[in-house]
Amino acid sequence: MERVIPNWLELPKDITVNILQRLSTVDIVTRACLVCPLWWNICKDPFMWRTIQMIKLHNSTGELLKICQYAIERSCGCLEDIDIKRFGTDDLLKNIAENGSHLRRLRLVDCGEISDTGLIEAAKQLPLLEELDILFSYFSKDALEVIGHCCPLLKSLKWSNEFNFWYVEVEPFSFIKTMPQLRHLELCSDLLTNDELLAILDECPHLESLDIEACNSLVLCGDVRERCCEQIKNLRLPDDFFCDDDTYFDGLSENSSDYSNMDYEDDYDLGDSDSDSGAITGDDKRGYFYGLLGLLPSPRENSDDSDHSDDDP
């Protein structure tokens, strides 16, 4: 019996949008938007770029910076959530801040090229930020204090500094006093003490969720443990340590088991096709991608164009 292959172009538009939004930003920019005119027009919608996820796997840093900057511009100010892993620069963070006035979530994982100054200048332009994840990336407590002052709506913080053995600050957690509206706090550090934990509980009266299970050097005193249990609804303590969050292991190695078997070059086989299909033909997809970034008009230049035109990509 002959197998019937469904025609994806016949799917309702809302379902197609839902499917495309599940792809990584790299896949959308370099592959999905080139498949056909329908997908091209869907990908022109700024709301497709409200969430940007960028992870350094097989692409070079230069490629990722171009892709990310292109995606940020495509968002046309609608960016709400961005996740940067294993790359990033001050210039990129500046671009995010300048185009992300509505940004509510920022996640920086293993971003060693971003400086205190870059983070501070970005924070000044992100007044609506509610969630901040800084993992395996070192920023001083002074920089984090600026975030607390500039982002009064901050409700969730995930912070790791466990790999900074060469530099220990005095009162490394004092910045948390600038974040009194925190509801969720996750710390991964060998520097947390009982006194600092009590200070956190005092400074964050609205705290509902506290995860310090990766603070392996902390030996909780009886009264501190009791205080945590009384004040916090969702609590994870060091002696409960069992990490079920892939993020922890993602930062340990660029060859994380989650990604080691992935081959992005084979995720989509656009192949050769008839010209009337609207798909990109030819084998040099990487070359076409660079042409795409170089030749496509800036989204700002096309602000008057209809997002629903039927032009081919």
Write the DSSP symbol of residue 81: E
pLDDT value at position 138?
86
Identify whether the C-beta of residue 185 lies closer than 8 Å to the C-beta of residue 211: yes
Residues 91-112 pLDDT 10s: 999 999 999 999 999 999 999 9
Which of 226, 184, 224 minimizes the C-alpha distance to 204?
184
Complete domains list, the chain, with CATH: 12-295 (3.80.10.10)
pLDDT value at position 229?
95
pLDDT value at position 168?
59
* CA gap 185, 296 in Å, rounded: 42
Res. 290 pLDDT band, cuts 50 70 90? very low
pLDDT value at position 163?
55
* CA gap 105, 161 in Å, rounded: 20
Task: Identify the H or E element spanning 280.
Answer: none
CA 191, distance to chain mean position in Å, is 26
The mean pLDDT of 137-142, rounded to a whole number, is 90
User: Where would I find the H helices in the chain?
Assistant: 13-21, 25-30, 37-43, 61-74, 90-99, 116-123, 141-150, 194-203, 222-231, 246-250, 285-295
Pairing of strands 234-236, 131-135: unpaired
* CA gap 55, 99 in Å, rounded: 20
